[in-house]
Structure 1
């Protein structure tokens, strides 16, 4: 049975102080997160004393024919999301557009008694753009009701998620993975890191602990754009 406890989501997100919200109380020990854009990488050149010897000179091989640049998956232009639909678990929700609180935590949908809709984090790509678009939803609701993302764990690979957009287009995603993570070891780069194509992340609470009245985990759905 799901608890009616309400609070903040707690998975750390991108941008250092930015925290993804959760249904559990705030935890000041939440690990810092990487920036949304993958940080540049650099490899220091070896010092002369440690550099490996050069390889032996080999006969020159014929130059291969020039190959075209790697083609990235097709994506849609930016356009704000309007509604979310997950037919396999009978979810349809208007989407709030939420940003950050003054302390750098992510704003979360407010439940006024009838359950809260899902929200799109407006600092992430719009659904259909290149990169991971992030959406949040509660697992429970006031009055003992279920939240909009209560059944995320029932999603299976191949299940479709549709997002209608302000430009009239519908971005359709297919689930390829679901994972449960402890809030104490949330893999920020894996969840929020850059992707070559357009992807979607749906995040909610999991692991309710009746002894503490908190949710110890987050559950994340990974999906890729297919249409």
Structure 2
């Protein structure tokens, strides 16, 4: 089982940049004092000018723009503190398995549990969040076994939306997830971002092989269960 190429957990975060804009007021230049008028002979009323130019008042300085209220902070779904997983239980398909912790192969793909013939337990990818933390926690399991028996994830396709998945953790708590959906992907077109990308809530990914080709003896696809933390 090789669930696509994995370059490590995606942990990109969006950094918000606040740009403060201010209005600079333009002040008029200093007033020039009027020159002292020279005395002159009185002017009769009839000789007074009929049209007197009255200067318009100077335009008022623009008022500074009112500050824009900051948008309310996004309320993210509650999650659990970090705690490594111990066991996996899926009551609706009769699965109960210890969880081993595995990382990446040298080629960047996920390590998978080694099956020596007696059936292998499911594993947690230790580069992903622990089950219950924010983000997608990744669990892997075989669909078959060299002994001919079904693997620990042989019946993932039977899971339907709303089914519960329980993961016990080292701190004594249990993360309870509900199934959202299942999806089948070809291994040569595995959607890395959709499966492993960051999420706002605590989520779970169960991944196994699918699409067995008798001509080659290989599995061409991966089957993925998407689940979200319930409690």
Tell me the alpha carbon deviations over residues 73-98 of structure 1, each in whole angstroms, 9 at most, x when there is no partner.
00000000000000000000000001
Match of 1:188 among 192, 198, 201: 192
The offset of 1:106, in angstroms, is 2.2
Of 76, 82, 103, the residue aligned with 2:86 is 82
Displacement after TM superposition at 1:137 (Å): 0.1
| TM-score of the superposed pair, with normalisation by structure 2 | 0.74
TM-score scaled to structure 1, two decimals?
0.75
Q: Quick one: which of 6, 13, 21 aligns to 2:6?
A: 13
1:67: how far off? 5.5
Q: How many residues are matched?
A: 182
Q: CA deviation at 1:203?
A: 0.1
* 1:36 match: 10
Counterpart Cα distance in 1 of 2:124 and 2:92: 20
Aligned residue number for residue 146 of structure 2? 142
Deviation string, structure 1 residues 185-227 (Cα, Å, up to 9, x no partner): 1110000000001000000000001111111100000000010
Matched residue of 2:73: which SS? coil
8 Å contact 1:14–1:192 — kept in the other structure? no
Residue 175 of structure 1: aligned partner: 179
Gaps of 5+ in 1: 1-7, 16-34, 43-61
Asked if structure 1 preserves the Cα contact closer than 8 Å seen for 2:206 and 2:224, the reply is: yes
Secondary structure, in 3 states, of the residue corresponding to 1:135?
strand
Q: CA deviation at 1:142?
A: 1.6
- The answer for unaligned runs of 5 or more in structure 2 is 17-65
After superposition, the C-alpha distances for 1:96-126 in whole angstroms (9 at most, x for unaligned) are: 0011233433221111221000000000000
CA spacing shift, 1:213–1:73, aligned 2, 3 Å: same
2:15 and 2:160 mapped to 1: Cα distance?
35
Structure 2 counterpart of 1:109: 113
